[in-house]
Amino acid sequence: MRAAVLRETGGPLTVEDVELAAPGPGEVTVRLAASGVCHSDWNVVTGATSNPLPAVLGHEGAGVIEAVGAGVTDVAEGDHVILSWLPSCGSCFYCVEGRGVLCEVAMADMFAGTLPGGSLALSQNGEPLYHYSYLSAFAERCVVPAGCCVPIRRDAPLEVAALVGCAVMTGLGAAVLRARVAPGSAAVVFGAGGVGLSAILGCKLAGARSIVAADPVAFKRETALRLGATHAADPTGEDVAALARELTGGRGADYAFDTAGAPGVVAQAYDAVRRGGTIVAVGLPPEGATADLPAPALVREEKVVTGSFYGSCRPHVDMPLVVDLYMEGRLDLDALVSRTYPLELVNEAFAAMNAGEVARAVIRF
């Protein structure tokens, strides 16, 4: 089958013929219909995130189950599924506590670039190829743990479903599940890419009264306004915190989200919220980066600084719900699919993402 392989840090990806093993016990083969191109993949290309190489990237996919391995009973051939890149183990401290995105077992395997237990389903001429975030969805097919498969209704378009597997769930979940945005509140969203736009959709769904989108790219600000932001600002030339205060009688926003993960943005988000407000870090900065916050204010103002990983979601509960909301016309996820590309043009899709030309570029198989 064809797959986009990253052979060395810096790239480019090369689309090659690779071999995929049959699904082992507890595993499933999925034929991919679509795969979104995400900044987290790019972090592997640049080396900001480490993953063993050579590897097949891609972690935002949806498709149809083609085969199931021994012992798989939750899903069956023909099911339409969103791929979740965080199959929680169900039995570690965090899973038992009900916070599967913090699962310590899943996290360890993810960084090893393998399937659970250290096995690899990908190879080429007998040489191993590593997985990325369990999925390796820049390929015609993938073999994944059954727990990565989230069944969804069959009438939902799989291009949109793919985005629910990462960007949409991450952004929308940060607003709805982590911050628990309240009706009538004020929010600022830094970064209006796929995740930031999804956070804006989440704020709108939750009934926020004002939503400020802060992004240096005009196309992204325009898309944000179309999706429900009430105001948009260019943080390189405008004082976003001042705008937030202006909209809230001088206090500041109730919530601010950093979906960019760029240096200094958490501090800007901190500045934009009122006393007692909530700052949610969503965009993943490079390994080793730190966030600099005003320490006396941290004490006196009682602001809450937290992170949100994968939208703090429970994939099997929240992803089908997001798809239902989309199908009922309550979430405009179509606007996120800016362009589709064949797998052969995966490097062009990354270039469009890095140039800020797209909300999301999607590989269609």
Residues in contact with Zn ion by CB under 5 A are 38, 40, 88-89, 92, 95, 103, 105, 166
CB of 342 to Zn ion, least distance (A): 20
Q: Which is nearer to Zn ion, 243 or 265 (CB)?
A: 265
Q: Is the CB of residue 362 less than 8 Å from the CB of residue 35?
A: yes
Q: How far is the CB of 317 from Zn ion (least distance, A)?
A: 16
Q: Between 104 and 334, whose beta carbon lies closer to Zn ion?
A: 104
Which of 90/276 has CB closer to Zn ion? 90
Output 29 or 88, the one with its CB closest to Zn ion. 88
> For residue 176, what are the contacts with CB-CB under 8 A and spacing of at least 6?
202, 205, 206
Least separation in angstroms between residue 15's CB and Zn ion is 20
What crossing angle do the helices spanning 194-205 and 218-227 adopt, rounded to 10°?
20
Token output for 27 = 């595993």
Residue 327 sits at the vertex; the CA angle it makes with 324 and 331, to the nearest 5 degrees, is 85
Alpha-carbon gap, residue 141 to 61, rounded angstroms: 10
We find the least distance from the C-beta atom of residue 19 to Zn ion, in angstroms, to be 26
Q: How far apart are CA 113 and CA 121, in angstroms?
A: 11
Minimum gap (Å) between residue 182 Cβ and Zn ion: 27
| DSSP state letters, 200-213 | HHHHHHTT-SEEEE
Q: Three-state DSSP class for 295?
A: helix
CB closer to Zn ion out of 88 and 248: 88
